Structure 1
């Protein structure tokens, strides 16, 4: 007989573990109870699915302590399940010889299973892993399961000797590592699957891990070689009570571990929810903006304190009433119909879009707001949340800036910029209605001398007085503009004849020629007024009409000033 390759290595005593080139006639053959085999596989799958669920709980935890508790308890449940699968699988194997198990070694064999489970759960609790980490995890997990299996088989007490076929031994380790890696890979590979969902992913990857554990066991059992003689008349008997006890303990332990972790998870989620509600309430109560929640009928469900400040209503006066009480017309009249149209599938003209509108206070005053509306749908419940910002100050500043840009700082009359925007619009209205527009170009005579002799302060007061006199003789529809320096323009809309413009020009000239009392100085000023007209459909531009009035004014100055002239 050829010596084994490890012959001569007495320190290793590998021949006491492996069997090679022996006499096949010395081997004992066994068989399986397939009902117990199926039970062992189901147990492996069950505890693996539980482990996957616990790994998800650990991954979603926000505290290191809770994560480690989940991993530790899950490792205990999975390790015990793997060991139970192994032991039931051993009991399912029938030999024609009495077999018992060393209690200490049998109990000790659960340690590698727990360590392998801990390695697996540590990895499964991560958000993502690299291919190298997956490979290392698969190797360590497979090695741990293999160590559990072979140490458990070493606890067998029987007359035949137990040896292992080297090839099948190697195959069992490879199978264990590869299938463990596959189970881990499936868990991460399917984690983002939109087709399976979380439950389907757990079931599939848990089944893969359970099959991996069971496959390693039964491949390793195929590596076992029992050397000895059968005991005549021996009949293998199943210890049903032991099998039932192991099954119940394993399932109950897994269920308890899962229940405890779910309970802790729900407690943590409840605490987070409570904290989130507290934060939201703090934000809700302290928000500067008004926040109003209404139902699908427009009935106010809740308001924050800022709403009371903005609208002047108490919270108790608003809850249960329709939101349109805070709206002026026409929004008030159209609100219910708009809400009904939207809920029936109409366009989203407000939802999710910030817009400027107006609101009404308790005292009936109207103020500008910026409104943003969000929608909340939960099953059949539809709610709308409105965020309201009072933009009165913003609008006031905008109006001030607009006025500064379009009005003269000294006289507060509209300036050239305002004229450039208003005159074309007035001409467009005249084209539509067939009206007549008169333009008076007014230049003060002798203003420079007064300004030089009496000083700029008196000159400024004179310009302000001129502005007031121009306003006093103008009509409500007229536009009075300070163009530049001592030049003014009056735009006269809605005229029926040229003579109306001349009447206004004459009143203007008479008003300006009246003496002025300016800080103790009596000042008399004169004016030259040029007139131009825009007739509907004439095609003149605003600049052309203004230029004609300017030319008419200069014609007056050439003739001796303090008069009125027209070129068209």
Structure 2
């Protein structure tokens, strides 16, 4: 077995990865407050999906991968597959949010949305790993893979619940911190499932180096996130009284779909 190092640069990459996951989660939750309380919530839901799927999950994953190395091997990245993994992350998060926002009173909406989003996040992770080209033979421990998928589903369900219920900046920050831990936990559980060994049939490794492909992509998505963060801000928005709407009692306020 070849030695795998997930922390080539020490705690720098996991710390930065967590920071991006926390930032993406925080921005997504702030966007969802607006999606719950303002007209035009479809745009805010898309913004939340970009923030959480793009920065909170995909950027987190590949910042962590910058610290990944395998002893005596070459690692390259397949560009189309890597880009596809980013698209998967954002689409599945949007789909989960769309389901729970459009069906707020349906008790099945949260587990369905969480299941779809969690499986999609796991698919993003392993699609990204599939896009990693190396001259070693890579295998995965089925038990740890299953555990990583379970963590992804639970984390996605919790994230959607937070998106539906969180209000107030301090609670939002706490929820984003928990979401960041869950996303990072899923990533490293999936990575620890991996093992590598040399093969007698060495094949030519093609693709882009990590810094050539990932750095501009990470910077690009992160800049989009920063622009959204400046637009949304982290201050409380004006939210209606959730116990009374138009003189009638209500447990939760949802704007008209029109």
Given the alignment, which residue of 248, 254, 257 partners 2:228?
257
Offset of residue 156 of structure 1: 0.9
- Runs of 5+ in structure 2 lacking a partner? 203-208, 239-258
Given the alignment, which residue of 27, 32, 35 partners 1:55?
32
Offset of residue 88 of structure 1: 1.4
| Whole-angstrom distance in 2 between the partners of 1:159 and 1:244 | 22
1:70 aligns with 44
Return the structure number with greater relative CO, CA threshold 8 A, min gap 6. Answer: 2
2:246 aligns with none
1:501 aligns with none
Given the alignment, which residue of 158, 171, 189 partners 1:201?
171
TM-score (norm 1): 0.36
Given the alignment, which residue of 146, 169, 176 partners 2:145?
169
Offset of residue 57 of structure 1: 1.2
* Cα 1:126/1:255, change in 2 over 3 Å: farther
SS in 1 for 2:108: helix
Q: Is the 8 A contact 2:77 2:213 kept in 1?
A: no
Aligned residues: 223
Deviations 1:494-548 (A, max 9, x none): xxxxxxxxxxxxxxxxxxxxxxxxxxxxxxxxxxxxxxxxxxxxxxxxxxxxxxx
| Whole-angstrom distance in 2 between the partners of 1:247 and 1:111 | 14
* Cα 1:109/1:147, change in 2 over 3 Å: same
| Whole-angstrom distance in 1 between the partners of 2:26 and 2:116 | 20
| Whole-angstrom distance in 1 between the partners of 2:38 and 2:214 | 36
Residue 64 (structure 2) pairs with residue 89 (structure 1):
yes
| Whole-angstrom distance in 2 between the partners of 1:210 and 1:127 | 26
Offset of residue 76 of structure 1: 2.4
* Cα 1:89/1:224, change in 2 over 3 Å: same
Matches within 5 A, 1:49-448: 49-62=26-39, 66-81=40-55, 82-96=57-71, 97-122=73-98, 125=101, 128-188=104-164, 191=166, 198-228=168-198, 245-260=216-231
Offset of residue 169 of structure 1: 1.1
The structure that has the greater radius of gyration is: 1
Offset of residue 186 of structure 1: 4.1
Q: RMSD between aligned alpha carbons? A: 2.9
SS in 2 for 1:28: coil
| Whole-angstrom distance in 1 between the partners of 2:12 and 2:88 | 27
Offset of residue 41 of structure 1: 1.4
Offset of residue 78 of structure 1: 2.5
Q: Is the 8 A contact 1:113 1:144 kept in 2?
A: yes
* Cα 1:40/1:91, change in 2 over 3 Å: same
Deviations 1:88-138 (A, max 9, x none): 122211211110001111111112101122034335646945543221121
